[in-house]
Structure 1
Amino acid sequence: MRVACSAGGLIVKDNKVLLVKIAYGANKDYWMIPGGFVEEGETFEEAAIREVKEESGIVARPKRLVGVRTGTKELQNGLELGIYFIFEMELISGDLLADGSEISEVQFRPVDEVLKDSQVISLTQEILRTYTNTLPNSGLSKVENPIQTNNKYIKYDVYTSL
């Protein structure tokens, strides 16, 4: 079975959420949070940072893990397990800019509007709904102090509940 790893970034500012409009594939013309596949050698966090920047022009950093999606689907040559981590991210800098190939539009949209819009994919709406209805410190937050390990990790991050 093939395994596909991906990551996305949820950025909410002034009760507006960053969304991108997809320009291809099954989600063409739908809005969703920015995200995509983890490249070889990347962590989920690095993929979320890169994908948010590529798709929206925004530089952001992960604060906490707010959602996980797993699923198995059939492909022509077998099964694929998809693992998708969604991070709440802190906006650092940048101006909104759609990449013009994968993404046709990028906007900060009011949360209430997004939750009612049939052109926003259901997963984005569910993550946003859960995010807005939970305590600010819930979820899994990144451990700031390094953790000692006996294995030779190149990169090593841990997320725990507070």
Structure 2
Amino acid sequence: MPVVRVFVLDSEERVLLVKTRHKKTGGYYWIAPGGMIEKGEYSREAAIREVKEETGLDISIRRLVWVEESKNDKGEVDYIHYFLGERTGGEKVTGIDPELEANEQIILHVEYMSKEEIKKQPEVYPEVLAYDYFWEVIRASAHDPYVIRPSKGFGVR
């Protein structure tokens, strides 16, 4: 299943995150906005659409940050494209998941968070948001996005 996630930073270098209810546990976690790429849709188009649906913001894509690939239980390759986006308009709102009915919505809140605020959250996805490595890559003028996305234990938290 191809998926996109987008890192949108504000002028204070805070990252836009979506507070989402966990379907299985009923708890919550914070996640970079994004979702599935629809049939016939380019990943950049999906990224822009998903941010609009979930947060109300209009964005443009600045660059590809990472491509994460993995194999699912069927042996099929799944991937996630992580983009750096830039706000171009719209107002920040708590959006919806259009695939879910009104009583099934899982988006609880939308907020910009600093590195320090992210580190205090019990559950953030992708986990690399809580590590210095993420901030180094976001500030870098160039890097190789075709690597496995670093996760827990990678760098200093």
TM over 0.5, shorter chain: yes
Aligned to 2:155: none
Find the partner of 2:9 among 8, 12, 29. Answer: 12
- Note closer, same or farther for the CA distance 1:129–1:69 as it changes in structure 2 (3 Å cut): farther
**Does structure 1 conserve the Cα–Cα contact (< 8 Å) formed by 2:115 and 2:129?**
no
> Would you say 1:89 and 2:92 are equivalent positions?
no
| CA displacement, residues 26-85 of structure 1 (integer Å, 9 cap, x when unaligned) | 5851001000000011100000000000011111011101112111232xxx34432000
Measured on the aligned residues, the alpha-carbon RMSD in Å equals 2.3
TM-score, normalised on structure 2?
Answer: 0.74
SS at match of 1:133: helix
TM-score normalised by L of structure 1: 0.72
Aligned to 1:33: 32
AA aligned opposite 1:5: P
Flag the 1:26–1:17 CA change in 2: closer, same or farther, 3 A: farther
Question: What CA distance in whole angstroms lies between the structure 2 residues aligned with 1:58 and 1:69?
Answer: 25
- How far apart are the structure 2 equivalents of 1:10 and 1:16? 10
| Cα distance between partner residues in 2 of 1:6 and 1:61 | 17
> How many residues in Structure 1 have an aligned counterpart in Structure 2?
134
- Equivalent position of 1:114 in the other structure: 118
CA contact (8 A) 1:19 1:109 kept: yes
Structure 1 gaps, min length 5: 142-162
Unaligned runs of 5+ in 2: 97-104, 146-157
**Which of the two has higher C-alpha Rg?**
1
Question: What secondary structure sits across from 2:28 in the alignment?
Answer: coil
Aligned-pair distance for 1:133?
Answer: 1.3
Whose strand fraction is larger, Structure 1's or Structure 2's? 1
Displaced runs of 4 or more, over 4 A: none
1:133 aligns with 2:136: yes
- Percent of residue pairs bearing the same amino acid type: 28
Q: What is the CA distance between 1:129 and its match in structure 2? A: 3.8
One-letter code aligned to 1:11: V
